[in-house]
A and B are shown apart, each in its own frame.
Chain A
Amino acid sequence: MAKTLTQEFVKGLWEEIPPFRLVLGLCPTLAVTKSVENGIGMGVATAFVLVFSNILVSALRKIIPAKVRIACFIIVIATFVTVVELLMQAFTYPLFLKLGIFIPLIVVNCILLGRAEAFASKNGVLASAADGLGIGIGFTLALGALGSLREILGSGTFFGKAVFGPAFQPFSFMVEAPGAFVCLGLMLCLMNLAGKK
């Protein structure tokens, strides 16, 4: 059992890492990765919701009628998103302001509904928690990586600290909308190169 739990956890870090392997949840990926801090903050918030919604969906999987399951999943997810929203407002207010409407929009992040439908509604509570944690951490890593790339090239900083000398001319294309698409596209290409079986 322990081994399978580890497997469920590890697969989210490489084999099924969103948004590269599972091309889901692109909107927050593109929108909040202007800086590392935003990217990781968004990743942690999503991971939190993912773990708890996976646990609850899996615990209720025998009670929820198949016909209205999607609506039930959405309500479960929306509840935890509200929890995260209120927590972030209380403890990390500056980050809450920066992420703006993208926190309530975690509700419509397809990763959450996708995992609830594809995994949590068919597996036990522990396995679902491991799956949620793995995918959540994978998502955080991906957002962190994309955020680092864009912040370092686009504004010449990392976690708000300057990395290059004052002579560095920021490549501002990277922090604007078009840069987000191109960057993600190129990273996806690198992932494909690295992981071709």
Chain B
Amino acid sequence: MGDYILLAISCILVNNILLAQYLGNCPFLGTSKKMETAVGMAMAVVFVLVMAGVITWLLEAYVLKAFGLEYLRTIGFILVIASLVQFVEMFLKKSVPALYRGLGIFLPLITTNCAVMGVCLINIKEEYTFMQALVASFSYAFGFGLALILFAGVRERIILARVPKPMQDTAIGLVTAGMLSLAFFAFKGMV
């Protein structure tokens, strides 16, 4: 049990997917201008990432490894993620319309979110067991949401500040992300 808690903490804070592993930065900058969109994106990522992590782990263990098809991993994983996103979208639309409206346009965007694909690949690379992969997927997704929401909070403040013209928008966003990343960097000393 202790191992799982340690794994979770390291995935959420120390190896934060956005700020330490540089994955999923496009939606990080794209959806962090408003708190609402940030929360929507964070929820959608948690939802999809956990499912994708579990399914790709099973695919790797029972199909690709079993038949010696590891070289098809890239194609296999992206197909699983793309169809999973499509399926989740249809399922939510039919059975949980409230959640569907909440997640809205963020669901289809997740297909090209490299955080999802990245975590699936990390799970395989680190040779996690099924339970570890499940914990890691959830923690990475949680870390993504945490960083995204914190960043959106900071960015809402920046709108009020007077930023020099060439620094506006993405440039100041990246520098701010650097500062936030520096803060998360401190957790490296913890483990």
Residue tally, chain A, CB below 8 Å to B: 42
Count: A-B pairs, CB below 8 Å: 123
Are the C-beta atoms of A105 and B114 separated by less than 8 Å? Answer: yes
Are the C-beta atoms of A27 and B178 separated by less than 8 Å? Answer: no
Are the C-beta atoms of B113 and A189 separated by less than 8 Å? Answer: no
Residue tally, chain B, CB below 8 Å to A: 44
Query: Which residues of A have CB within 8 Å of B172?
Result: 185
Taking CB as reference atom, which chain B residue is nearest A112?
B112
Q: A101-B125, A107-B78 are in contact. Are A185 and B71 (CB under 8 A)?
A: no
Taking CB as reference atom, which chain B residue is nearest A182?
B178
B29 contacts partner chain A, Cβ-Cβ < 8 Å? yes
Say which one of A74-82, A135-143, A153-161, A162-170 lies at the interface with B: A74-82
Are the C-beta atoms of B74 and A107 separated by less than 8 Å? Answer: yes
Are the C-beta atoms of A192 and B112 separated by less than 8 Å? Answer: no
- Mark out the residues of chain B between 142 and 170 whose CB falls within 8 Å of any chain A CB in the assembled complex: 165-168, 170
A85 contacts partner chain B, Cβ-Cβ < 8 Å? yes
Are the C-beta atoms of A181 and B113 separated by less than 8 Å? Answer: no
- Among A74, A86, A177, A193, the residue within 8 A (CB) of B78 is A74
- Among A26, A85, A180, A182, the residue within 8 A (CB) of B29 is A26
- Among B79, B112, B181, the residue within 8 A (CB) of A177 is B181
- Among A24, A71, A184, the residue within 8 A (CB) of B26 is A24
- Among A78, A79, A109, A182, the residue within 8 A (CB) of B114 is A109
Q: A188-B171, A193-B166 are in contact. Are A27 and B75 (CB under 8 A)?
A: no
Bound CA span A75–B78, Å: 8
Bound CA span A179–B165, Å: 22
B121 contacts partner chain A, Cβ-Cβ < 8 Å? yes
Shortest CB distance A104–B (Å): 4
B134 contacts partner chain A, Cβ-Cβ < 8 Å? no
Beta-carbon contacts of B18-47 to A below 8 Å, as 1s and 0s? 011111111001000000000000000000
Shortest CB distance A193–B (Å): 4
Query: Which residues of A have CB within 8 Å of B29?
Result: 23, 26
Are the C-beta atoms of B112 and A181 separated by less than 8 Å? Answer: no
Bound CA span A186–B177, Å: 12
Are the C-beta atoms of A184 and B174 separated by less than 8 Å? Answer: yes
Query: Which residues of B have CB within 8 Å of A81?
Result: 74
B58 contacts partner chain A, Cβ-Cβ < 8 Å? no
Beta-carbon contacts of A103-118 to B below 8 Å, as 1s and 0s? 0110111100100000
Beta-carbon contacts of A92-136 to B below 8 Å, as 1s and 0s? 000000001100110111100100000000000000000000000
The 9 closest A-B pairs by CB, nearest first: A185-B174, A181-B178, A182-B178, A192-B166, A185-B175, A31-B22, A178-B182, A26-B25, A178-B181
Interface of B toward A, CB cutoff 8 Å: 19-26, 29, 71-75, 77-79, 82, 111-114, 116-118, 121-122, 125, 165-168, 170-175, 177-179, 181-182, 185
Interface of A toward B, CB cutoff 8 Å: 23-27, 30-31, 70-71, 74-75, 78-79, 81-82, 85-86, 100-101, 104-105, 107-110, 113, 176-182, 184-186, 188-190, 192-193, 196
